[in-house]
Structure 1
Amino acid sequence: MALEKPYLDVPGTVIFDADQSRKGYWLNQFCMSLMKAENRARFKADERAYLDEWAMTEEQRQAVMARDLNWCIRTGGNIYFLAKIGATDGKSFQQMAGSMTGMSEDAYRAMMVAGGRSVEGNRFMHEAVGAPAASTGAGAGREVV
């Protein structure tokens, strides 16, 4: 029996649950490897060769090479592990978060200092005009474009 997942109805949100954890296991293990200086050096010297050492999907490898953190999250990455990629590239967590929102670091900081994004119009996908009712069964998650 599939677990109910009402959080799949939240637009623009991927919850790191057990399913995401299983999906992203090797991606997240790769990220953790970047805690060692010698692994960071190997990754920076030849990203593709280093990524090929991990049992990640090709999509996960492409997401890492593109430095598209939203894509990494959709493929099972956890932001706290993905932060190791940003640190390897010399990026702050704030810079990374800004890139995920399409904002500059300064604009992102200002938004967060002002209280963050408004929840108005962002509560549930099923409330969007013309949106189909959300399914909460396993695998029901979908991205809002």
Structure 2
Amino acid sequence: MSNTGIPGTTLFDGAQAMKGYALNRMCFSFNDQANREAFKADEERYMRHYGLTAPQADAIRKRDVLGLLAAGGNVYYLAKFAGILGLDVQDLGAAQTGMTKQQFKLKLLQQNDQPDRLAA
């Protein structure tokens, strides 16, 4: 697993992309309502159909966002899975940073209040 030096952050590089191919392919399939329904009807069968690894399937079962990222998940594809659970990208960001969603939103707002360091 690649790390950027930021706790809880996995760098999505070529190795992670290869590692997470099946997981990301499955999550991409959730663009189609019929596939979302098929997943909800039988998660185990759906995961087997896409050939998820044991760590990927376990992270799906546990709804473990950090585990999915470590297993090669790309946040943009994982957002499709999160949508099935009623979560949004801010929920994923909060999970990555170890914050509550409200804390994460507050941090984003505070960062927006900072002067642009690159301007000047």
- Same fold? TM cut 0.5: yes
Q: How far apart, CA to CA, are the structure 2 residues paired with 1:114 and 1:24?
A: 33
Structure 2 portions without partners, runs of 5+: 113-120
1:52 is paired with a residue whose SS is: helix
Pairwise CA distance, 1:31: 0.4
- Runs of 4+ aligned residues of structure 1 deviating over 6 Å after TM superposition are none
- The equivalent of 1:41 in structure 2 is 37
Q: How far apart, CA to CA, are the structure 2 residues paired with 1:22 and 1:58?
A: 16
Aligned-residue identity in percent = 33
Q: How far apart, CA to CA, are the structure 1 residues paired with 2:99 and 2:6?
A: 18
RMSD between aligned residues: 1.7
- The equivalent of 2:25 in structure 1 is 29
1:109 to 105, 110, 113: 105
Count how many residue pairs are aligned between Structure 1 and Structure 2.
Answer: 110
- The equivalent of 1:10 in structure 2 is 5
Q: As a proportion of its length, which structure holds more helix?
A: 2
Instruction: Give the number of the structure with larger relative contact order, counting CA–CA contacts within 8 Å between residues 6 or more apart.
Output: 1
The alignment's TM-score, normalised by the length of structure 2, stands at 0.83
Q: How far apart, CA to CA, are the structure 2 residues paired with 1:45 and 1:65?
A: 14
Corresponding position: 1:71 with 2:76? no
Structure 1 portions without partners, runs of 5+: 1-6, 117-145
The alignment's TM-score, normalised by the length of structure 1, stands at 0.69
